[in-house]
């Protein structure tokens, strides 16, 4: 194990080179459980959708030509030849001068090529008066106009949300082949850290990181396994880490990576297998002591305990790895241009991430205001911030009024 503060770029490169993340394989799952999963193969349709030409209104299926010229003053008379029931093959055939009663979604019967809306008709027994003309295919959704047989409806790699699941259902799938979601065991460390839901003795704080990191794992396309809190003691820590490694595809820890006497995470992780810790510290602020290891085939990311630090470094370094393991394209964070509201300083020699809130100013446009946190320990920083501004290690500050790019924590905000 070596100690060297890598630059942010070096750290990212080393992580990708060493971990070489790959998708884990595929599995067939019920469509109803597919939310947020990644499609493993192109989805094609084996049938035309709609599978038959159907009416888009309630009314009468007719031969369009029979209605030509019809208006309020010169209606045409047609004979009602029957009824098309919804969900059934039509039992009627429309001949010249005839109309078949039809509802929205029912199949167009043979002989008809348009539908007159019920509002444009008046019926007396089997006599139909039509007060408006229709053109061919009017009020008809033709077979295969939505999806053609053999058409690719979704491409491999697509993340499944409500719209995608709807499309897969439309072509008749109850199951879907998706990438296996990587599992990440998440544990917090520190004698002061207490699980939410339990009483809070004096001197203790609630565990933020395991919760925020677990949720961030979901957001990245992985499946978190919450492992709770472990004290900063070598043996319990070793046991917890071993169990975490055995139960998941990767491990995420927080706390205990600085240089204090209780900061025994790096050495403990390193003792668990080869090649061990390969990145000890990154020249970034916040998050300098972030440590990354590979134990056998499994990545272990150890973030500092400060909640902002832990989550930000997860987003910057671990999220893209999980995305790739989940079969996704690692996405650049969406970003937006804004104007710095005041001078923002960088930490000497370190890539600095300043969390900012975006405010719309009538004159200046979108303005990036640093979110005052006092220290990176305040979780509220993350709740208040819309994103962050990156200041390169070789720049001292970004000046007030300067144009900055804000990487957004969430799309659309």
DSSP-derived letter for residue 168 is: H
User: In this structure, are residues 173 and 153 in contact, taking their beta carbons and an 8 Å threshold?
Assistant: no
Q: Should residue 307 be labelled a site residue for Mg ion when binding is judged by CB under 5 A?
A: no
Rounded to the nearest whole angstrom, what is the least distance from the CB of residue 189 to ligand AMP in the complex?
6
Residue in this structure with the two tokens 């055939």, named with its chain if needed: 93
Site for ligand AMP in 304-333 (CB under 6 A): 304-307
Site for ligand AMP in 366-395 (CB under 6 A): 377
Residue (of 287, 395, 308) closest to 345 by Cα position: 395
φ and ψ of 138, to 5 deg: -65, 135
Distance in angstroms (rounded) separating the CA atoms of residues 245 and 265: 14
- Segment interacting with ligand AMP (CB under 6 A) among 143-151, 200-208, 266-274, 337-345: 200-208
Rounded to the nearest whole angstrom, what is the least distance from the CB of residue 31 to Mg ion in the complex?
43
Q: What does 377 bind: ligand AMP, Mg ion, none (CB cut-off 5 to 8 Å by kind)?
A: ligand AMP
DSSP-derived letter for residue 108 is: P
Q: Should residue 286 be labelled a site residue for ligand AMP when binding is judged by CB under 6 A?
A: no
Q: What does 304 bind: Mg ion, ligand AMP, none (CB cut-off 5 to 8 Å by kind)?
A: ligand AMP
User: In this structure, are residues 114 and 136 in contact, taking their beta carbons and an 8 Å threshold?
Assistant: yes
Site for Mg ion in 230-259 (CB under 5 A): 255-256
Q: Should residue 191 be labelled a site residue for ligand AMP when binding is judged by CB under 6 A?
A: no
Find the DSSP H helices in 231-375. 234-247, 265-270, 307-313, 319-325
Helix and strand totals (H; E) in the chain = 9, 28
Q: What does 258 bind: Mg ion, ligand AMP, none (CB cut-off 5 to 8 Å by kind)?
A: ligand AMP
Rounded to the nearest whole angstrom, what is the least distance from the CB of residue 343 to ligand AMP in the complex?
27
Site for ligand AMP in 222-281 (CB under 6 A): 254-256, 258
Which of 178, 208, 225, 391 binds ligand AMP (CB under 6 A)? It is 208
Q: Return the structure tokens found at 181.
A: 């979601």
User: In this structure, are residues 195 and 69 in contact, taking their beta carbons and an 8 Å threshold?
Assistant: no
User: In this structure, are residues 14 and 278 in contact, taking their beta carbons and an 8 Å threshold?
Assistant: yes
Point out which residues bind Mg ion (CB under 5 A).
190, 255-256, 305
Point out which residues bind ligand AMP (CB under 6 A).
188, 190, 192-193, 205, 207-210, 254-256, 258, 304-307, 377
């Amino acid at each position: 194990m070596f100690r060297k503060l890598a630059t942010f770029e070096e750290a990212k490169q080393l992580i990708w080179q060493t971990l070489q993340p790959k998708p884990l394989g595929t599995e067939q799952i019920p469509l109803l459980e597919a939310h947020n999963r990644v499609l493993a193969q192109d989805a094609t349709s084996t049938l035309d959708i709609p599978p038959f030409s159907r009416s888009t209104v309630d009314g009468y299926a007719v031969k369009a030509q029979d209605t030509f010229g019809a208006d309020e003053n010169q209606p045409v008379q047609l004979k009602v030849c029957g009824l098309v029931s919804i969900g059934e093959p039509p039992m009627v055939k429309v001949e010249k001068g005839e109309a078949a009663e039809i509802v929205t979604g029912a199949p167009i019967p043979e002989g008809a090529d348009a539908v007159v809306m019920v509002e444009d008709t008046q019926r007396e027994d089997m006599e139909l008066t039509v007060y408006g003309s229709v053109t061919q295919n009017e009020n008809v959704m033709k077979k295969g106009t939505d999806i053609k047989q053999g058409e690719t409806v979704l491409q491999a790699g697509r993340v499944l949300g409500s719209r995608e699941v709807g499309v897969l259902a439309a072509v008749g799938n109850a199951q879907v082949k998706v990438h296996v979601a990587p599992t990440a065991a998440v544990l917090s460390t520190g004698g002061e850290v207490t699980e939410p839901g339990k009483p809070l003795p004096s001197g203790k704080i609630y565990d933020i990181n395991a919760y925020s990191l677990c949720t961030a794992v979901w957001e990245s396309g992985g499946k978190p396994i919450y492992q709770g809190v472990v004290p900063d003691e070598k043996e319990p820590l070793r046991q917890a880490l071993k169990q975490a490694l055995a139960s998941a595809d990767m491990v995420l820890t927080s706390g205990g990576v600085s240089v204090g006497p209780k900061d025994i995470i790096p050495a403990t992780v390193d003792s668990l297998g080869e090649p061990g810790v390969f990145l000890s510290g990154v020249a970034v602020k916040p998050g300098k002591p972030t440590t990354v290891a590979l134990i056998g085939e499994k990545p272990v990311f150890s973030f500092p305990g400060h909640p902002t630090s832990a989550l930000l470094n997860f987003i910057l370094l671990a999220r893209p790895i999980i995305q790739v393991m989940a079969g996704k394209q690692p996405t650049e964070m969406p970003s937006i241009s804004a104007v710095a509201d005041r001078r923002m300083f960088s930490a000497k020699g370190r890539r600095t991430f300043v969390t900012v809130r975006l405010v719309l100013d009538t004159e200046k446009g979108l303005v990036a205001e640093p979110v005052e946190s006092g220290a990176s320990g305040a979780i509220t920083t993350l709740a208040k911030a819309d994103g962050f501004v990156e200041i390169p290690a070789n720049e001292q500050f970004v000046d007030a009024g300067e144009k900055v790019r804000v990487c957004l924590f969430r799309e659309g905000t």
